[in-house]
Amino acid sequence: MTDTTAPLYLEALQRFRDLLRQAEQTGLPEPAAMSLATVNAEGRPEVRTVLLKAADERGFVFYTNTLSRKGRALVARPYASLCFFWQPLLAQVLVEGAVEQVSDAEADAYWATRPRASQIGAWASRQSEPLARREELEQQVALYQRRFEGQPVPRPSYWSGYRVKPDLIEFWFSRPGRLHERERYVAEAGEWRKLLLNP
């Protein structure tokens, strides 16, 4: 098991948080956006952009429909790679590790912070399933708006979060002449190491 209290992991986590804070200050529209790469049951890689919702000692968290394409891939192969690229900083962070689903309590707490329209959308959308026409989705939205009118929107059982538990965090910084700076924090046999890599 990877030690997420190890000083080197905490150092990497703090470096990531500092970069994310800098990215937020640049005015980027979605500084928490990250590419999420998974591998499905057939061994085919899949990638999409999602939003980071938490990064702490336990890992990096995002939320989604668990029946979606990404949700199915994470059931088949519970590992993922995350990639953050902040163009104004000319910096990139790569995170890799095993994935676990967050607790119901965590999912409920985050769900309660979501805009009502997003909550309704989670009920209305059968994420990743074929849609004959846009009007079908709009009809589903209207249906759930009526269903939950005047009351809190509950979290669907198929909507939750996933936590990537890092065993690798790599920092990349652009440098002149393509002599980029790369530093990798990696856990091997449960012990964290810090490596400087060739660009």
What is the predicted pLDDT for the residue at 1?
64
Query: If residue 56 lies in a helix (H) or strand (E), which one and from where to where?
Result: strand 54-56
- The answer as to whether 58 is a domain residue is yes
Q: Could you say which residues of the chain have pLDDT below 70?
A: 1
The CATH number given to whatever domain includes residue 104 is: 2.30.110.10
Domain tally for the chain?
Answer: 1
One of 178, 182, 184, 193 is an active-site residue; which one? Answer: 178
- The answer as to whether 152 is a domain residue is no
Strands (E), 66-104: 79-86, 91-101
Catalytic status, residue 178: yes
- The answer as to whether 73 is a domain residue is yes
Token pair listed for 22? 């800098």
Q: Looking at the DSSP assignment, which residues form a beta bridge with residue 33?
A: 51
What is the predicted pLDDT for the residue at 176?
94
- The answer as to whether 167 is a domain residue is yes
* Rounded-to-integer distance, Cα 127 and Cα 102, Å: 20
* Rounded-to-integer distance, Cα 162 and Cα 28, Å: 25
- The answer as to whether 119 is a domain residue is no
What is the predicted pLDDT for the residue at 2?
73
Question: 59 CB contacts (<8 Å, ≥6 apart)?
Answer: 4, 97, 163, 164, 165, 166
Residue 23 is which amino acid? A
- The answer as to whether 57 is a domain residue is yes
For the range 67-73, what are the long-range contacts, defined as Cβ-Cβ under 8 Å and sequence gap of 24 or more?
67/126, 67/127, 67/128, 67/158, 68/127, 68/128, 69/40, 69/127, 69/128, 70/36, 70/38, 70/46, 72/40, 72/41, 73/38, 73/39, 73/40, 73/41, 73/46
> In which domain, by residue range, is 40 found?
7-114+157-197
Count CA atoms within 13 Å of residue 47 on its CB side: 9
- The answer as to whether 133 is a domain residue is no
- The answer as to whether 192 is a domain residue is yes
Q: Are 171 and 182 in contact (CB under 8 A)?
A: yes
